Structure 1
Amino acid sequence: MSLFGYPRINFTGEATINVGTANNDDYSAGAQDNPQHPGEKLPPGQPFNSNPFRLSDSVNVQAVTYGMTDQQFMNWAQTPQPCQNDDGSAATQVPGEWNYFGDMAVSFDTVTVQSVTMAFGQTTTSNPLVGASLSFTSDEGGYTTALICDSNPEDVPASQIFADVMALRKNGTTYFSAQPTKAVTRYINFGRNPQLMPPAVPQPTSAMASATFQHGIPVANFSDPAYAAILSALGLNANSAVLKNAAGFVVRYSMYRCIPKQHSAINYPTTQAFADAIAAMYKSSNPLNPGVAIVSGSIGIWQKGELASLTMGRLMPATNAIPGTKLMIAPITMNLDTSAKIISLDISNSFPQNYNKNNNSTPNWVFGPVYVGFPRGGNNYQDIGEIPLDTNSYINSGGMIDISYKDFTMFYSLIEAGALAVYTRINGALTVLATETQYMIGSDQAIVYAEQNATSTNYRSSGQQLEPCKLRVYSHGSPFTGLLQVKQVEYSSTPNFNQQTGNYKTLNISDGYQVVFNIATPGSKLMLFMVNSTDPVPAYWEINLTAAFYINMRVLPQDDFSAVINSGNISWDFLYNNVLRNYNLLYPAMSKHLPFVQQAWEGAAAYVNSRVSAEYWGSSQYMPRTRDLSATRRALIQAWCKQFLVPPKV
């Protein structure tokens, strides 16, 4: 069971996430996209006419310019502007938000191995792997190959990390180096660091949140000498039983406490003060304001047949808030080794922390003793073991906790049938925090793309080839062999100030069920799977993103450029205004790589023609990094490029 087995390599450290923020449209979304809080409005009168405060029309993949020229828009995006809150009060915001020049790069800066868990109760800090660096670089000290982008830039649940390389190295030894599979956000938890709520706008922010990401590291042959060093450190060889059905390594981490490096809203009492600080930064010699996050996680053996982007198992969603708070823990995934009688719990993203602004530390919040156990009738629970919440235990275990239930012989059948719970006792009062539920649903196609009106029911997810969007359905930790009745609900999630609940139907699904979306209209969609099929359908903003089962879809708009393409005479102005202007205005970092001017693009025609092709989709070298270029716009770019390609010599 991958991370639930042994050995495990546990790591932590800081990462830099240099997201670009102009496409987020955070201001127009309101409070958690709640229609009762419809978000901020631009000033009345021309040119804004009290429209929602937004820069990006992600449905049609175009910048919202309000009639401004390029230079006017870029100046406006970096300058504090008046606006109106949903309660009618005045506010000030910088349209491009807090990192207008971000290039979407993700780097693991100081992420190192802290310990290695060789077997139950055997975690060591003296293994040769301790101190090894985990990174996305092609060589030690090189530039990161990873990037983060959203399929739905206007909302929370659809971030994905692509990389060309993920490597583990120490003192000149490379333990592994390969292209990882795509990782996506899981278990988004806005209760991870509640102290990071901005004082001026008390709404959930990325600084408060955490999420789980997971990559697979494919290994074709463990007999390859390239893996000799890591296998030796783990006490394995190519013939070890744990590698008999292995697909490679799996890297799972929680990313949390992401605070912008220069200026964060958490440090300013008013939106005006924050806006002024951001505007001054954009005029300075260093206009970058990337987020700096902590990552903590584990590396395990990835088994064939298991998902690459999610560890499936027994699922424990939250049932009650932590006493004295409104905080619910994020779901716990666990596994029971019924032979060795060991419960393994993944709490890497589950429990809140207690951020200390004075020293910028992020210790875990030990709010009381927490146990895993089972009910004995009434309000009585039998403790099997205590879950350590302290920071050192969390770091040294990568958030993976192993507890033996060998001594509970009389209760084996009860424990293994699915009766476990996680709970706390504070001042003698018991509060059940999470209980095991029967079903878990996941997919490696959690974020997919389609072309508007395409006839295929396969979608783009990780690379060049289209693939079916399939669900894995587990029951108490194993693939489910029956039919599960669910309510399948399809939402239109853009624009974020007008999200719509679409059609829903009750149906029976099995393990391997293929999800098919309605792709007649462009924009972002979310497909929700409700296991309790009799529950009422929630509004989009009511979906519990921490615990819900869902798939994100981005439908790219279909344009008809056939007449222009067939003419063989595509002007730069036509290409720029219909396709490229959006990227120049909303993602100015792209112009640092290749300026959006005709001469530069003509000289780079061969390069562009190659990099916009689907062949590069799974690579950080794909253009554009945002992955929102439709097939019709790709065809226009490539037709324009071919006008400047030198024919090969015969």
Structure 2
Amino acid sequence: MSIFNFPRINIKGLMAVNVGTANNDDYSNDVFPPGSQYAGQPVRLADSVNVQPLMYGMTDDEWITWVQTKGTFSDPPAKTTALQMARSEGSTATADAPTYLIPAEWNFYGDMGLTMMGVAVQGVTDPDKIIPDYLLSELQTATLSFNNRPDQTGRSTGMLIDINPEDPSNSQIFADFLSLQSGNSFLFSGKPSKAITRWINFQRNVNLTGPNGAAASFQCVIPLSELQGQPILDGMPNRSPSGQPLAGVVCRMVMFRSMQGINTFNYPGDTWFDQIEALYAKKGLNPTYVQLQGTIAPWFEGEMKSAPTGRYLIPGTNTIPVPAGCRANGPAVALAPAIATIDPVNYVVSIDLSASLPEKYAGSYDPMETSTNPKYDFGTLCLDIVYQGNTTTIASIPYTDMDNDKTGWLFDFPFDAGLLTAIQDGTLAISSPTYGTLLYESIYYVVSDQSGVYAEQDTTVATTSQFRDYGADTTEISFTVFRKGAIDTNTPLALWYYDTTPNQQPGNRQPLMLPYTSGQPISLPVDSPGNRLITAVPATYSLPPLSYGQFSLLTFPIINIRILPNNVDYSQYYVNPEDPQPVGNELLTFDVIYNEVLRNYYLLYPAMSMRIPLNDPTYWNDAEMAGRLMQRISLDYWALSEAMPRTRDLSASRRTLLTAWCLKFFGNTNAPSPVV
């Protein structure tokens, strides 16, 4: 149920997404030109398998200058795949012609931060009048943020981190706080669970191209333990209608219409390159701003954290043509998936269309402008039930009415009691008289609450079933299977996986587990580093695509696993390599930790060096700074906004190496905890 629970607090605003872009490898379908030393090689800055920069024979200073400067490359194929549309900006590629690129892309100095801007409550849906008057009054002027304090000293603690920076399928939101504020006080504030990309859709907008036309959903929860004594609990029911105790609050967010200040719409051709080069000359930022719409609701024991659950409607083969004169990612758009639930007592069907309905952008490409992106009116849209060969329309959906912001684009439609059997046993569908069935109910909904995790390369074991998700401890991973909205532990699934790195040459489908049942722990080979994507289909269904290039990020269930490299033996640098946490010897110098670890972050993520340069040993050769580094790279900090590195791709062997260097300043493993 999750966001279908009452009361619902519905929000909308902007989110500044300040991701760094040098690690994305979006230009790896372009190649170095003939005559260059690396002619024919793909234009890549990051070896994400081994977590190292690709230097092309340059010094650090030469590389930094090169990636921020317009360069000439060649032999680009058409950039029409989802992987390229995910982030690519600024390319002037045409088939069989030279192309010009800034290798660091559009926001080299981004720090991965997320900042909500004017994300305000639009309306409250509370049919049972649970919320007391005083709280309802405060909610009507409340705003949501990742801030740690409600006053001017507060800062945003949110950040967006990719599991695999080469692939858009799995970004994660980390935050120390998710806070709903009214005036100078919080109505609630607490540490949320990790949110993960769901239903990334590159055909969301009929009049925007590339990543600007994309959308995705995220969901997190704040557990009850974080909310004790806070005003929001006065407006939450103690139990669900079916009796589950309150476990916290859930927040589902949809992000769409991504747009940078320096974008290729307002700055076409060479002007984009001129603007970006001038920006980089002063180490400036070019974050993207996304529209954000969401719902906050009670979260009850037993419900999933990272995804809404219910009856699952997926896009069919019918599409909506892009209207003449519009620019979009392809000639047609399809609705993204939707979730529906049935209330058999009050005879209400509820459906969440927040991720599904396309917009038609009509603005001037100002990222701060939010009123010029209305829903695209493609005619009548109906919610139907198909039962025993008959189709009955339950309701017409008023999807062009922007007042739906007040109800979070969740629709509650009463139905006649005589339709209960048909609705419970039949197939839900979203249809248009003009375009036919656009969404139809899949019998099965397969989803994982651990859909983006990390593992350590280990050649001493055949497989592992322990993965790092959102903290120091490891956990098992699994899929949950729903059949028409109810957990199904009987239907056998087949699990498959793809090796998705490097992005210009991913691997084909490989078998993993057959049969597989809901909730069963998953084991995966981890003998080599890189990224694996696991998917699941009912064993009686057709196979997922052989090629990852044909894999649908919109409808297939996924678990993304980043396997971090431990393929270098650092024992020569330790006083006693057998110690659980060894101390560094005289061979372990700053040059070693820079070449093995820090150079990757100094070059690819320059925001990390804006305060303290990662390449300068004079900043680090003292006990205080060593203590700070040791604390920030510890697994205890892994889920916090102050963790180093922000990208969460520091492997166990490299963490041990850095810690060994830090311990040299204290002489033993009982070093005092530094004050930060």
Same fold (TM over 0.5): yes
Alpha-carbon deviation of 1:244?
5.5
Does the Cα contact within 8 Å between 2:428 and 2:440 map onto a contact in 1? yes
8 Å contact kept, 1:489–1:537: no
Deviates more, 1:499-508 or 1:60-69: 499-508
Structure 2 distance, partners of 1:649, 1:601, is 16
| Aligned twin of 1:395 | 405
Structure 2 partner of 1:345: 351
Instruction: Give 1:381's aligned residue.
Output: 391
CA contact (8 A) 1:493 1:500 kept: yes
What is aligned with 2:600? Answer: 582
Q: What does the per-residue CA deviation read over 1:308-337, in whole Å, with 9 as the maximum and x for residues that have no partner?
A: 111111100011334434211100111111
Count of aligned positions: 618
Residue 31 of structure 1: aligned partner: none
The answer for the alignment partner of 1:638 in structure 2 is 659
Residue 585 of structure 2: aligned partner:
568
Question: How far apart are residue 221 of structure 1 and its match?
Answer: 8.1
Which residue identity does 2:383 align to in structure 1? V
Return the alpha-carbon distance in structure 1 between the equivalents of residues 240 and 304 of structure 2. 22
Equivalent in the alignment of 2:265? 266
Residue aligning to 2:325: none
Corresponding residue of 1:440: 445
Question: For the residues of structure 1 that align with 2:287 and 2:544, how far apart are their CA atoms?
Answer: 40
> For the Cα contact (< 8 Å) 2:509–2:548, is it kept in 1?
no
Alignment of 1:273-352 (within 5 A): 273-284=271-282, 287-325=284-322, 326-352=332-358
Identity %: 35
Q: Report the CA distance between 1:305 and its aligned residue.
A: 1.4
Residue aligning to 2:612 = 594
User: 1:54 aligns to what?
Assistant: 44
Q: Deviations over 1:568-601 (max 9, x none)?
A: 1201111111111011000000001331111212
What corresponds to 2:630 in structure 1?
Answer: 609
Q: CA deviation at 1:121?
A: 11
1:282 to partner: Cα distance: 1.2
Evaluate the alpha carbon distance shift between residue 474 and residue 52 of structure 1 in structure 2; reply closer, same or farther with a 3 A threshold: same
* CA distance, structure 2, for counterparts of residue 126 and residue 452 of structure 1: 51
Task: Indicate how the Cα distance of structure 1 residues 133 and 489 shifts in structure 2: closer, same or farther if over 3 A, else same.
Answer: same
**Deviation (angstroms), 1:344:** 1.1
| Partner in structure 2 of residue 32 of structure 1 | none
Consecutive unaligned residues in structure 2, runs of 5 or more: 78-94, 323-331, 576-583
- Code of the aligned partner of 2:219: Q
Residues of 2 paired with 1:314 and 1:242: CA distance?
Answer: 17
Query: 2:111 aligned with 1:103, yes or no?
Result: yes
Matched, 1:171 2:183: yes
Q: Structure 1's 159 and 497: CA in aligned 2 closer, same or farther, altered over 3 A?
A: same
Deviation at 1:376, TM superposition (A): 6.4
Letter in 2 for 1:449: Y
Determine the structure 2 residue equivalent to 1:530: 537
**Local SS of the residue matching 1:6:** coil
After superposition, the Cα gap between the structure-2 partners of 1:632 and 1:385, relative to the gap in structure 1 and judged at 3 Å, is: same
Q: Which of 492, 496, 501 is matched with 1:489 structurally?
A: 496
AA of the residue aligned to 1:319: G
In structure 2, C-alpha distance between the alignment counterparts of 1:52 and 1:601, rounded to whole Å: 35
Could you tell me whether the CA contact under 8 Å between 1:113 and 1:131 is conserved in 2? yes
Match of 1:65 among 48, 55, 59: 55
Matches within 5 A, 1:364-379: 364-375=375-386
Asked if 1:117 corresponds to 2:128, the answer is no
Name the CA distance, whole Å, in 2 between partners of 1:9 and 1:188: 24
Root-mean-square deviation (Å): 2.4
**Hey, what does 1:201 align to over in structure 2?**
none
Q: Please give the residue correspondences for 1:451-490 in structure 2 after superposition, counting only pairs within 5 Å.
A: 451-453=456-458, 455=461, 456-484=464-492, 486-490=493-497
User: Quick one: which of 640, 657, 660 aligns to 1:619?
Assistant: 640
CA distance in 2, matches of 1:462, 1:119: 35
Task: Provide the secondary structure at the position in 1 that maps to 2:527.
Answer: coil
Q: What corresponds to 2:6 in structure 1?
A: 6
Structure 1 stretches of 4+ with a deviation exceeding 6 A read: 120-126, 239-243, 646-650
Q: Deviations over 1:405-438 (max 9, x none)?
A: 1x1x333111111421111123xxx611111111
Q: Is this contact kept in 2: 1:321–1:329, CA < 8 A? A: no
Query: Does the 8 A contact of 2:250 with 2:297 survive in 1?
Result: yes
1:375 shift after superposition:
2.9
Offset at residue 95 of structure 1 (A) = 0.6
Q: How many Å apart are 1:122 and its aligned residue?
A: 11
Structure 1 unaligned segments of length 5 or more: list them. Answer: 29-38, 198-204
Change (3 A) 1:283 1:27: same
Question: What letter matches 1:144 in structure 2?
Answer: S
TM-score (norm 1): 0.90
